[in-house]
Structure 1
């Protein structure tokens, strides 16, 4: 596995801090895989496991050691750190909890500095995707780094079908899959983890689509959005407006043509 314990000093750039935090969380996720885990009910069918909590602690330990003056918003622990801090980290320690709870390895650890660097670790794939906000790259165990290169060649589009559906009936993800133009041009995938957003940046998915509110500061989506932007993907809300200015949701596409096709289908066109 990737070495997550290499030291870095206080001058390490934010991308390395994000990557180290994500990999620390990935270590925990991997080490607890397959165990009988306690569950913490969040209501509405949502829950966290002991692994979510332990992974978030590991991520926060890295951030606190490297950036003690920064604040953190964690999915499990909520807002922590200095009130009014100029810098805030967004941490999703285990994206794909339901997958993980039934021993499925499609999960991710997301760490993002608001409006800055970010990293997404694949605990079982031996990879971490990272960006400094300008370039995007992947580190692979035993293979060094290489740039992320988006591509629509796979024609695979990952669609989040989980509730809530705030834009229904105007937009329903399941209806996108039923659009006659979709099957003619794309193939659907439902991975149920935001690791799939990083895959758009890496050229493993042509696009990713989800409903939702403003996702720019979401612990689930901020890291993937940062990667896609830095890699040169087209990233908007489901209304086509820029993230942060949109009515909500996310369409992250490898290129303009793919984005335009999906937007036409979302809007009810051919």
Structure 2
């Protein structure tokens, strides 16, 4: 664990995420200017202000580190060993229509591994964080270790584009599969806050398509789930962060195996990925740019 000036990277991630969450909470419900991006995607004043708050904390504490921000892009040396990944308001579409489902994601990648991360819930008052070894939930002055559980049978499925694995995999087809509805109950939160909920035992799993390499949206949630002991891979069992393979983050190996089978049973998936390397993972952990 890296400690600089008396503060670990994990505690810094928590502090930075909370700073962003305070801004998101403060600006909620007001008239916010929108800044169009592409394909119907946009940012609000809250996105930009929250990112500034997060970056101010990080740059003051770790001025030599590189940063990739959802709104400001990449700063620092291109090949920096230490890079912070910042998503200042994950759930902008929810937030813009006054729906309190959003998160602030802060993660530190050192080399090829995310070693510290935090996801703050601006409205629930909680922060989910990890030092890369264990995952904790802080709220109401109490801190407890995360305990994943598949008991709810609730599975969040991200329906937002892009869909790099289509037509082999389409999330909407997963929801229509009788095998899915026989075992699980779908949810669509439209924020990666739901990935933190898998680590916390509030969701059985989370499924999304997309390219997760250095993803400001998903890096924190994946780190939380891994450290909590969840089973985490790409859509076809491959390691995450290695390409446009999407994500299955499940509370346990059994839930993961069931979802992996459902994904592989999509008609085009069977032909496109039959015999692909990796196969079904065992019980161990594995490990787009679109606003959700």
Give me the TM-score of the superposition, normalised by structure 2.
0.87
Unpaired runs of at least 5, structure 2: 267-292
State yes or no: 1:212 paired with 2:207.
no
2:143 corresponds in structure 1 to 145
1:131 corresponds in structure 2 to 130
Post-superposition offset of 1:83:
4.8
Contact 2:213 2:243 in 1 (8 A): no
1:197 corresponds in structure 2 to 195
Contact 1:10 1:67 in 2 (8 A): no
State yes or no: 1:248 paired with 2:256.
no
**1:128-152 CA distances to partner (integer Å, 9 max, x unpaired)?**
000000110010123x210000000
**In structure 2, how many angstroms separate the alpha carbons of the residues matched to 1:165 and 1:82?**
30
1:91 corresponds in structure 2 to 86
CA RMSD in angstroms, aligned pairs only? 1.3
**In structure 1, how many angstroms separate the alpha carbons of the residues matched to 2:6 and 2:189?**
37
1:53 corresponds in structure 2 to 48
Post-superposition offset of 1:84:
3.7
State yes or no: 1:260 paired with 2:257.
yes
2:227 corresponds in structure 1 to 230
Unpaired runs of at least 5, structure 1: 1-7
Give me the TM-score of the superposition, normalised by structure 1.
0.94
Number of corresponding residues: 260
Post-superposition offset of 1:244:
2.8
Contact 1:239 1:246 in 2 (8 A): no
**In structure 2, how many angstroms separate the alpha carbons of the residues matched to 1:91 and 1:156?**
27
Post-superposition offset of 1:82:
4.3
**Bigger shift: residues 114-123 or 83-92:** 83-92
**In structure 2, how many angstroms separate the alpha carbons of the residues matched to 1:85 and 1:192?**
31
Q: What are the residue-to-residue correspondences of 1:110-189 with 2, within 5 Å?
A: 110-114=105-109, 115-142=114-141, 144-189=142-187
State yes or no: 1:14 paired with 2:9.
yes
**1:106-159 CA distances to partner (integer Å, 9 max, x unpaired)?**
0000000012100000000010000000110010123x2100000000000000
